[in-house]
């Protein structure tokens, strides 16, 4: 083995340690250096390790955290169709409670020789997760794209909705309806999209209602990204006197509607609710849900384009010599407010309507 390493190192013009790192799929090796080592293997007649062999041009992995939330099947459909049009076959890998982890699914796809992988709402969105797993994947020569989440520690294309803008849309809509106690229900704080939504919510509450950071933060509740999580968070916000609740997902919003009804309150006349995603069929709930539409079609197609550019080698590669590579772009897509039947005038708005109905003049504030 020592002789082989020495031969390969001499042929590639690198150190034996570098050859060892390439053969074992370790990070910290520039893409050009890695290719030189692989070329040296071919020239000397050595067989490449299985993990380093030429990848299939036909398969692309797609890893999602679950399929119960309808937004993930929606992404899978858009991405799958876009890949099929480009001549690739999508391989859907889904995590389930007690089942395979993201790392295990990644290893499975790599062993199958996929040309690349698209991660949706994966560990890259979790600020407490070790991002080294993605650098190791890159060191193995596997192109990948990350959807919904961002980390400056990962060298890869990112595709995200503008979560801050989404909260501005929601708060502005509710404030215009006369709501002054607006709550925010979302998932665990360690997730990047959650942190961004909080930032947008706090700044919008100050801009629209003049609330300071401390007061606005008291109207934020963390829970699980599920119907039950939304119900629990909304219950706490209703206890805080909120007349409107903005939720981080449509599933959480349906839980908020349930929480209001369990207290004998009507949605939207007593409590307004806004979701996030505009999941399939959400327009047919009772009441039809006002929500922030995540541009799934545009985001999914952008993720596929970015991955195919990675596969084709047209995106920037990591730099050599241990220096940091130029950061990849994060492609950020603007969301859209879709107004339906789950939002209506709040207490202040109802007072204005009442005054107008009886011919009273509204106060001018002078």
Strand, helix or coil for residue 93: strand
Do both 63 and 112 map to the same domain?
A: yes
Q: What is the pLDDT of residue 215?
A: 96
d(CA 277, CA 74): 10
Q: What is the pLDDT of residue 345?
A: 93
Backbone angles phi, psi at 354, to 5 degrees: -65, -45
Residue 363 lies in a domain: no
Q: What is the pLDDT of residue 365?
A: 42
Do both 174 and 207 map to the same domain?
A: yes
DSSP symbol at 49: P
d(CA 245, CA 275): 9
Do both 48 and 95 map to the same domain?
A: no
Residue labelled with tokens 């998932």: 187
User: Which pTM was predicted?
Assistant: 0.79
Contact 91, 114 (CB under 8 A): yes
Do both 240 and 285 map to the same domain?
A: yes
Q: What is the pLDDT of residue 355?
A: 53
Both tokens of 76, joined, read 């899978």
Do both 268 and 308 map to the same domain?
A: no
Domain that holds residue 315: 59-161+296-333
How much helix, strand and coil, in percent to the nearest 5, is found in the chain? 45, 15, 40
| Segments in 246-323 forming alpha helices (H) | 250-262, 296-311
Do both 263 and 202 map to the same domain?
A: yes
Residue 12 lies in a domain: yes
Residue 310 lies in a domain: yes
Residue 366 lies in a domain: no
Do both 128 and 103 map to the same domain?
A: yes
Q: What is the pLDDT of residue 82?
A: 94
Residue 317 lies in a domain: yes
Do both 83 and 149 map to the same domain?
A: yes
Residue 141 lies in a domain: yes
Do both 200 and 317 map to the same domain?
A: no
Report the candidate in 146, 189, 184, 152 with the shortest Cα–Cα distance to residue 166: 184
Contact 139, 320 (CB under 8 A): no
Residue 184 lies in a domain: yes
Domain tally for the chain?
3
3-state secondary structure 304-359: HHHHHHHHCCCCCCCCCCCCCCCCCCEEEECCEEECCCCCCCCHHHHHHHHHHHCC
Residue 364 lies in a domain: no
Q: What is the pLDDT of residue 322?
A: 37
pLDDT digits (tens, 9 = 90+) for 88-130: 999 999 988 788 999 999 999 998 889 999 999 999 999 999 9
CA 259 to chain centre: 26
Q: What is the pLDDT of residue 337?
A: 98
Both tokens of 105, joined, read 């699914």
Do both 341 and 249 map to the same domain?
A: yes
Report the candidate in 166, 79, 84, 167 with the shortest Cα–Cα distance to residue 120: 79
Residue 78 sits in a domain whose CATH number is 3.40.50.2300
Do both 343 and 323 map to the same domain?
A: no
d(CA 1, CA 190): 45
Tell me the torsion sign for CA atoms 130, 134, 135, 136. Answer: positive
Do both 249 and 287 map to the same domain?
A: yes
Residue 25 sits in a domain whose CATH number is 1.10.260.40
Beta bridge partners of 19: none
Domain end marker among 29, 52, 75: 52
Residue-by-residue pLDDT tens, the chain, 366 positions: 445 888 888 888 999 889 888 888 776 777 678 778 888 887 887 777 766 655 556 899 999 998 889 999 999 999 999 999 988 999 999 988 788 999 999 999 998 889 999 999 999 999 999 999 999 998 888 999 999 999 999 999 999 999 999 999 999 999 999 999 999 999 999 999 999 999 999 999 999 999 999 999 999 999 999 999 999 999 999 999 999 999 999 999 999 999 999 999 999 999 999 999 999 899 999 999 999 999 999 999 999 999 999 887 754 444 333 333 444 689 999 999 999 999 999 877 666 555 555 455 444 443
Q: What is the pLDDT of residue 57?
A: 62
């Amino acid at each position: 083995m020592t002789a082989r390493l020495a031969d390969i190192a001499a042929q590639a013009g690198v150190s034996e340690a570098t050859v060892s790192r390439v053969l074992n799929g370790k990070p910290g090796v520039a893409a050009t250096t890695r290719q030189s080592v692989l070329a040296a293997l071919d020239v000397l007649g050595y067989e490449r390790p299985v993990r380093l062999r030429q990848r299939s041009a036909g398969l692309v992995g797609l890893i999602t955290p679950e399929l119960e939330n309808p937004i993930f099947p929606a992404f899978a459909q858009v991405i799958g169709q876009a890949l099929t049009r480009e001549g690739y076959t999508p391989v859907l890998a889904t995590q389930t409670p007690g089942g395979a982890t993201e790392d295990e699914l990644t290893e499975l796809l790599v062993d199958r020789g996929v040309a690349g992988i698209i991660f949706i709402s994966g560990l890259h969105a979790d600020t407490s997760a070790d991002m080294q797993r993605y650098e190791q994947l890159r060191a193995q020569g596997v192109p990948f794209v990350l959807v919904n989440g961002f980390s400056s520690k990962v060298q890869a294309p990112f595709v995200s909705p503008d979560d801050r803008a989404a909260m501005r849309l929601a708060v502005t809509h509710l404030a215009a309806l006369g709501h002054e106690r607006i709550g925010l229900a979302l998932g665990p704080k360690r997730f990047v999209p959650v942190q961004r939504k909080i930032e947008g919510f706090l700044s919008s509450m100050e801009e629209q209602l003049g609330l300071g950071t401390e007061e606005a933060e008291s109207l934020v509740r963390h829970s699980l990204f599920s119907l039950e999580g939304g119900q629990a968070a909304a219950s706490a916000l209703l206890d805080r006197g909120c007349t409107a609740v903005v939720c981080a997902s449509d599933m959480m919003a349906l839980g908020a509607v349930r929480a209001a009804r369990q207290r004998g309150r009507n949605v939207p006349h007593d409590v307004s609710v806004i979701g996030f995603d505009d999941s399939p069929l959400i327009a047919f709930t009772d009441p039809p849900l006002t929500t922030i539409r995540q541009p799934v079609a545009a985001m999914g197609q952008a993720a596929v384009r970015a991955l195919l550019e990675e596969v084709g080698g047209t995106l920037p590669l990591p730099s050599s010599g241990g220096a940091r590579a130029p950061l990849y772009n994060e492609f950020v897509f603007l969301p859209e407010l879709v107004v339906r039947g789950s939002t209506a005038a709040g207490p202040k708005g109802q007072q204005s309507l009442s005054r107008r109905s009886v011919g009273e003049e509204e106060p001018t504030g002078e």
